[in-house]
Structures are given as structure tokens and as C-alpha cells.
Structure 1
Amino acid sequence: MAFPFITAEQRLAEKRRSSGVILGPAGVGKTTLLKTTEAVSALFVDMEDGDLAVRDWPCDTVRPRTWPECRDLACYIGGPNPALRDDQAYSQAHYDQVCAQYGDPALLDKYSLIFVDSISVAGRLCLQWSKGQPQAYSEKTGKPDNRGAYGLHGSELVAWLTQWQHIRSKDVWLVGILDEKLDDFNRKVFSPQIDGAKAALELPGILDQVISMIVLKDDNGTPYRAFVCQHLNPWGYPAKDRSGRLDVVEEPHLGRLIAKITAPRAQQRTGESS
């Protein structure tokens, strides 16, 4: 079989989609962002059982409660990775298994947005599962080995995030808690709230967009919510815009953010010149 080359015309004609993570302090309204999207085409992956803020929003929901369920769902939605062996998660064998369990993947065609709440909870589920695996115990003594557990946790979580990133047919957005700490020089530093260091460090390199949803103040001192979208921002919040289409600060509206990222280039240029 010849390697499938994609011409420039084919690539430019592909429907653009978006993927990213929105980080913010607890209570800032991350889950409520779901209400700024089209309910009929959104799938809400509710890991926190925290749908109180969107209880009146008529979108479909799925509630994974264990790490294997989280992996199965990502495989079912994202499809198989042909580079993996049959004994690995997200392989063709894993995909065949979850399709037999959940049904025809064509059922997912109705969804254009996958909204995952949250990576912080996913990290906790992953660590709990990792601590029960053989890698989490010393081969010599049989006692728990935290290094092995956290090593497995990091590789599992990175593979899970990568599986979401590789979904080309849907917009995929995850949310998570943004931690604020002081470093040794009493300066504020911000990072995703994820158990273990590996996933938090690699997260910005995996997903296309990293957005901080925070509270700023206008010239009169009035607070307002905003998206911080670019790495070079005056507050030091984690952010990245691989699309190159976002301003440093955008309004906290996920639907409009996705539209701005995915708009055809000609259409965006027209809007910029007007």
C-alpha cells in the first residue's frame, strides 16, 4: 500500500477543528462554558459529577468513574492508533473491544464538541488505578513503590491526553483546576492541578490551545472574567495559542473562541480588515 500523501489543496480544504484545555480556579465558571456551545452537538464527559451549573442544559452526558472507563471512552471517540500493539490501550484490539461494548461508533457522528470535565479528576483516577498495578510494587520486596506508581501514572495520563489531541473530526476541550503557589522568591507561579509532574509539564506540548480562565479588573477596578490565550501575558498565566488567531485576552465564551480558531482563513482576514 502506497503511503497516502496529502496535497496542499486537500489539506487546506480539510475542515478545521480545535483542541485545548481551559485552566482556572475553582468556581470561576469553567463548567458553565458548556452553555456557550450548541447543546444538540455537544457531549459532556462529566467526571466530577459536577453538572449542577449546567443541569438545565440539554446536552448528552457520559460519566466515567474509573480510569479504565476513561481510557475506553477516549479510545471509542478517538479511534485506534495503528502504531500500537494489540496489548496496548488505544490499539486496534482495544478499539474493537470498546466498539463491541458501546455500539456502532457512528452513534458519535452527532457530536461536534467533546467537553471533558476535568483533567484534575482524570489525574486522580489515573493515580488511584496506577497504585494498584504491578509496576507500583518493588520486584525485590513486594512493597509499594511510589516511583513506579507515579511513572506509570505519568505515561498513562500523557497517552490519554494524546489520544484526545489526535481526534481530527471534532472539537475537543478539557477543563481543569489552575493552582497558584509561591516560589522560593515569593513570586506567584501557576500550574495545572494534576497529580505528578510529568503530565503537567507535557500538557502544553500536547494540546493545541492552553487557556487560563481568570478574573481580571478593568480600569475602574471592576472584576470581570476573561480568557488569557497567549504565552506572553503580563500576569504569568499558562497559555498557548497554536492557531495564531487569538488575542492575549478573549471573552470567556467557548463557542465564539472555537469559531475564531476554526474560521476559514479568508473569512478571518475579511473580518480583520473590516
Structure 2
Amino acid sequence: MGLPIITADQRLREKKGVKLVLLGKSGIGKTTQLKTLPEDKTLFVDLEAGDLAVKDWRGDCVRPTTWPEFRDLVVFLAGPNPALPPEAPYSQAHYAHVCEQYGDPAQLAKYDCYFVDSITVLARLALIWAKTQPQAVSDRTGKPDTRGAYGLLGSEMLGALMHLQHARGKHVVFVAILDERLDDFNRKVFVPQIEGSKTAAELPGIVDEVVTLAEIKSDDGEPYRAFVTHTLNPYGFPAKDRSGQLEMLEPPNLLALIEKCAAATQPQNIKE
């Protein structure tokens, strides 16, 4: 067996997906961005059970209510990691077990995008679960160990989100609430509302795009909504554009934004 080299042409022909974090203050319209996505090609992972804003959106959805349920969903959506031992989440054994429950994973072929709303709520579910685990109990005193629970929360959240963002050929959108706070120097900063600091700090590094949906004021003082996409922006919002395709401010249309980012991965002048 030779070295399994993937040629440039083969790599460029692969179907690629955009992995994106969508941030915004509560009520700005993050969930409503689901309406811009094709109903027949999008799976809505509804963690908030608060789909009133998109009640007329006629796409499919799933509603995991516990952390173990979400882990099962993640391995079903993204497939297994064959490098993991059988007892580990997202292993081949975990995947086989979940397929017995959920059925043939071929049913997922119809979806181009997974819309996960929201990881703010997801982190709360993970923390509830983490507090029941042995790591959340002090070996010395037998009492609850908050530090241990939050350490487990961080590793579990990042493990799940990193595994889901490896769903090959799928767009994955993680939605989170954005908080406005004051730092130690009384300066205004914006931070994702996620239990524990580890996930919020490391999440931007595992996705292609970080986008903040915000209210911006035009030159004449009129407010309008826009996606802020560049790390260096005058508003201080979290943002990152790995595609190199986006303007600092983009119209608030998630499908158009994803298509623009995906254009960076389209093959150019590939020989047939």
C-alpha cells in the first residue's frame, strides 16, 4: 500500500463546508437568520426550544434536551473518529451504537447545513451533566468540586464542537449570545455568553468565520443591522474572516455570507 497522497485537483474537487460562529446581542435576530437558509437542505438543531421567531420556517429540526443526547447527535451528524478508543465519545463504537438508534446516516445526505442554536444554552446543559460526574466531586472531602465541573465542561464543549465542525462537506453554524461587559480597566468589551471561559476563548480558533450581527449607525446617524466580519473593526466586536472574501460589513443574510465564503474554496481552472 502506497502513501495515500491526495492531489491538489482531488482536494479542490472535494465538497467543502463553511464553519461559522454567529454572535449577537439577545433579540438582534440571530435565530431569524435561519429563514435565509434553504428549508429543504438545512437541519435546525434547536437547543433553546424557542423557535417562535422562525415558526413559519418549514425545515427539519431536532431538539436534544440533555448533554448525552447532544453528543449522540454530534457523532451521528459528523461520523466517527476512528482514532478514539471504543469507550470514548465520538468513537467508532459510539457511532455504531447511535446508528442503531437513529437509523441509516444516509438520511443526512439531503442537508447542506447544520444550524445549532444556541451554544449558550448548550453549555448550560453540559454544565448540568458535568456536575453529576465523578470529576465534579472532591476526592479529599467528597463535596462538590466546582473547579472540576468547569474543567470537565470546557473539555466536553470543545470536544463536541470540534468534532461537529469536522462534518465534511457541510456548513455548520454555531449561534451564541454576545454579552457587553467592562474589563478591569473599565473598558467596554464583548464576550460570548458561554458557561466557563475555556470554550469562549478557544472557539474562534476552531472555526473558519466569526461573525457578529450588530446594529451599526450610518454616517447620518440612522441605525441598521449588519454582519461585522473583520477582526480589526472600529466597534470592538468579535470577528474573523479566514476566507478573505468578506468586506468588514456585510448585509445580514446568512446564506449570502456562507456562499461568499465558500467561493474561496471553489476550484479554479482544474483540468478534467
State the TM-score, normalized to the length of structure 1.
Answer: 0.95
With 249-258 and 13-22 compared, the bigger mean Cα shift is at 13-22
**Shift of residue 4, structure 1, vs aligned partner:** 2.2
**CA–CA separation in structure 1 for the residues paired with 2:2 and 2:198:** 37
**CA–CA separation in structure 2 for the residues paired with 1:244 and 1:69:** 36
Could you say which residue in structure 1 is the equivalent of 2:95? Answer: 95
Is 1:168–2:148 an aligned residue pair?
no
Could you say which residue in structure 2 is the equivalent of 1:203? Answer: 203
Q: Note the 1:185-196 alignment, pairs <5 A.
A: 185-196=185-196
Q: Give % identity.
A: 59
**Shift of residue 222, structure 1, vs aligned partner:** 1.1
**CA–CA separation in structure 2 for the residues paired with 1:14 and 1:82:** 21
Q: Note the 1:18-167 alignment, pairs <5 A.
A: 18-167=18-167
Aligned CA RMSD, in angstroms, stands at 1.4
Cα contact 2:12–2:266 (8 A) shared by 1: no
Deviations 1:127-168 (A, max 9, x none): 110000000001122110011101100000000110111111
- The aligned amino acid for 2:222 is T
Q: Can you give the 5+ residue segments of structure 2 that lack an aligned partner in the other structure? A: none
**CA–CA separation in structure 1 for the residues paired with 2:65 and 2:31:** 18
Deviations 1:204-250 (A, max 9, x none): 11111111111001112111111011101111111111111111111
- The aligned amino acid for 2:67 is W
Could you say which residue in structure 1 is the equivalent of 2:225? Answer: 225
Q: Secondary structure at the match of 2:116?
A: strand
**CA–CA separation in structure 1 for the residues paired with 2:239 and 2:163:** 21
**Shift of residue 263, structure 1, vs aligned partner:** 2.0
State the TM-score, normalized to the length of structure 2.
Answer: 0.95
**Shift of residue 81, structure 1, vs aligned partner:** 0.7
Compared CA separation, residues 266 and 42, structure 1 to 2 (3 A):
closer
Q: Can you give the 5+ residue segments of structure 1 that lack an aligned partner in the other structure? A: 269-274
Compared CA separation, residues 30 and 135, structure 1 to 2 (3 A):
same
- The aligned amino acid for 1:52 is L
Q: Secondary structure at the match of 1:10?
A: helix
Cα contact 2:229–2:246 (8 A) shared by 1: yes
**Shift of residue 16, structure 1, vs aligned partner:** 2.7
**CA–CA separation in structure 2 for the residues paired with 1:233 and 1:218:** 15
- The aligned amino acid for 1:169 is G
Q: How many residues align?
A: 268
**CA–CA separation in structure 2 for the residues paired with 1:176 and 1:239:** 13
Q: Secondary structure at the match of 1:40?
A: coil
